[in-house]
Structure 1
Amino acid sequence: MALAFAVAVGLGGLPWTAVARDLDGRYAHSPLKSWFESLRSHSGPCCSDADGTALSDVDWEARDGHYRVRIEGQWWDVPDEALIKEPNRAGRTMVWPVYYRELDRSLRVEIRCFMPGSMT
């Protein structure tokens, strides 16, 4: 128990950044794999489809020329520099969040990339 607490405290201040992953190999032969891996916002590379999260239409909105997304039940503003401006070849809305979790603090999320979908 004490060891788990020490590990949690030791990791508490570190950001949980996204690392490119495809644990079960489901994206390995996708025709969009290289396109996803090439996506970049002004915040940097988005990584791959495996790192992004597809959003339902009720979990994102556009208002006054800016976007918001709902992650873990909270609304987060999408910074303008996170917006991917090229056409969305996947069709679905996707977000690439970076989570920051610390003991005794609320969740903090930074949006690295955001790609609006078709809202169908």
Structure 2
Amino acid sequence: MQGLALPGAAARDLDGRYAASPLKGWFEKLRSRKGPCCSDADGTALSDIDWEMKDGRYRVRIEGLWWAVPEDAVVTEPNRAGRTMVWPVYYRELNTGLRIDIRCFMPGSMT
């Protein structure tokens, strides 16, 4: 059985909660070297305990597991949102379990 992934999925804001955000346009244009991040509605904010730098690379904790952030997924422009965010793509396969591809990662400031 094949894994489920939605690489061509469009940004979503199903209930309209992000429509009035002053950063909406910025989020929609945000991209890493892997491509567009999509929008704030597709990203996940991380607590400081759920991301770190190890051996010169970022790592994020998603669903209780640590995932390496590919260098080309790091957003290099200034973080206008102020919070650390990650845009994961989930692949769930019957025999191999969970695999996550980090599409975009935007570090915040650890406090």
For Structure 1 versus Structure 2, the TM-score category normalised by the shorter chain is over 0.9
Match for residue 47 of structure 2 among 56, 61, 64: 56
Normalising by structure 1, what TM-score? 0.86
Amino acid at match of 1:60: W
Q: How far apart, in 2, do the equivalents of 1:33 and 1:109 lie?
A: 25
Q: Post-superposition, which runs of at least 4 consecutive aligned residues in structure 1 deviate over 4 A?
A: none
RMSD across aligned C-alpha pairs, in angstroms? 1.3
Amino acid at match of 2:4: L
Quick check: which one's helix share is greater? 1
Question: Residue 88 of structure 1 aligns with which residue?
Answer: 79
How far is 1:105 from its partner? 1.9
Whichever of the two has the greater Rg, that structure is 1
Amino acid at match of 2:32: S
Q: Deviations over 1:63-108 (max 9, x none)?
A: 2321000000100000000000110000000000000011132100
SS in 1 for 2:102: strand
SS in 2 for 1:50: coil
Where do residues 69-108 of structure 1 align in structure 2 (5 Å cutoff)? 69-108=60-99
Amino acid at match of 1:15: A
Q: How far apart, in 1, do the equivalents of 2:46 and 2:104 lie?
A: 13
Quick check: which one's strand share is greater? 2
Match for residue 22 of structure 1 among 13, 33, 52: 13
> How many residues in Structure 1 have an aligned counterpart in Structure 2?
110
Matched-pair identity in %: 75
Q: How far apart, in 2, do the equivalents of 1:35 and 1:109 lie?
A: 25
Q: Deviations over 1:31-63 (max 9, x none)?
A: 000000111101000000000000000000012
Q: How far apart, in 1, do the equivalents of 2:76 and 2:26 lie?
A: 14
Amino acid at match of 1:102: E
Question: Residue 35 of structure 2 aligns with which residue?
Answer: 44
Question: What 5-or-longer segments of structure 2 have no aligned partner?
Answer: none
Q: In the alignment, is the contact (CA less than 8 A) between 1:94 and 1:116 conserved in 2?
A: yes
